Amino acid sequence: MAKLYRVFQGLFCVCFILAALSILSLNGYAAALLAAAAVWLLLRRRPLPQFTLLLLIGGLVLRIGILLVLHPPIESDFLMMYEAAQSLLGGDLSFLDTPYFSLWAYQSVFVAWEAMWLSLWNSPVCLELVNAVLSAGIVCLLYRMARGWVSECAAQAACLLLTIFPYALTLHTVLTNQIASAFFLTLGVWLLAGDDCRRLGFWRFPLAGLALQCGNLLRSEGIIFVVAVLAWAVFEAVRHPEAVKRLAAGMLALLVVYFASGTAAGAIVRVSGLNPHGVQNGDPGWKFVTGLNFSTSGGYSQEDWSKIYPTLDENYQATAQTETVQDELIAERLSAGPVKLMRHMLNKLRLLWNSNALDWTLGHTQQQPEQLILGLITRGNAYTLVCQFDRGLFYLSLLLAGFGLIAPRERWKQRPSAAYLPYFIFFAAFCAMLLIEVQPRYAYLPQLFLFLAAAFGLDCLGKSRKEKTENA
């Protein structure tokens, strides 16, 4: 009878746990916690073997499966760049005679990037596949960096959480320039700080500068990484003053290659006829005008554009009048008073970090939100669940990153100064977004490095548990 009692006891425990899990799984935030717990339980004893290969193949298979199911429409700036790439393939450069490519000539590089791949297979699916490969590659590069700074289990757990992060997992279905740019920017950080690249010696500095500029040419976010790398160099110089000369020479090489390759790329774009304006940003003040727009919380403003557009010349270039109008708008908004400015900054933070960007990848599935999926859950409820899961993993990674940063000083003494790079990159992006235009999808790049920073929090949890076990 005692044996039968234990059977009933075990059976009831299983049934109760299943009931609790079924309830929790219907809330995306709780599901995010459950997923994180499952990942941690999977890896708490021993890391998975051949994880880089597993991460690459598994991540790629997941993304290919998703692009076979999700077919978001090509819209907004992505549609303009895709149509321009098609025109470039056909030898038609008429897209250059538009305000978009005349004023923001740097977008021409991404048009050429898309045209290159479309010349192999002229289908949006080709671009999605390229994005899928690069997206999976980004996670692998982040893992290769993390394993040099934290325990293997913590590095693997953080990258598995990033792998199932809905926004990063589905963005490849959108023809965005964010993924290709993020790959090269991450490659630059890996070349500079990854343990795998130590054998490169001094060469890692110029190679990192070249990779960072490649990412910047595809999407103008390289300055965020340059600032983060300079912050790392300061930390490294203070920590190891004996290596200041070598570090200064390396940073000089990185910056020279970064800016020289950018200048060379601009010249090539002009000489080739891809864009007579090279890779310039014809109106850098525009981002600050929209970033300070109170009514849109720092997002794009058609009203602001209607004030700027009439001031452009016949070639759609900014004029003195353009600068005057923009300076007046910026000055007016900056003089609104500290309370209004603070409220605006809070609204921008809410728009950028508290909102998800899944409408770009999943929004088209909500045309009939009442429709059932497999007869179990409506499309609307499923979308809400995924959005909550997305934000839940983001908030969890933010907490873990913060927990890892305030870890005992002894642990950070054992790590190289380069371990601060994920934090520097996230914080540099955070500060930049306070000033310029924001959209929820712009959080893609800093969120990648936030998940990398979360590995430090997971490492602390793992070591705390190990220390308690040893002291017991």
Q: For residue range 113-128, list pLDDT tens digits in order.
A: 999 999 999 999 999 9
CA atoms within 13 A on the CB side of 294: 14
Q: Is 58 exposed, middle or buried (0-12, 13-18, 19+ CB in 10 A)?
A: middle
Predicted TM-score (pTM) of this structure: 0.94
Please, are residues 107 and 81 in contact by the beta-carbon 8 Å criterion? Answer: yes
Q: For residue range 85-107, list pLDDT tens digits in order.
A: 999 999 999 999 899 999 999 99
Provide Rg for the chain, Cα atoms: 24
CA quadruple 401, 457, 140, 58: dihedral sign = negative
Q: For residue range 37-65, list pLDDT tens digits in order.
A: 889 888 877 888 999 999 999 999 999 99
Bridge partner list, 210: none
Rounded mean pLDDT, 68-75 = 93
Whether the pLDDT of residue 466 is over 80: the answer is: no
Please report, as a single letter, which amino acid is at residue 170. Answer: T
Tokens of 82: 């895709």
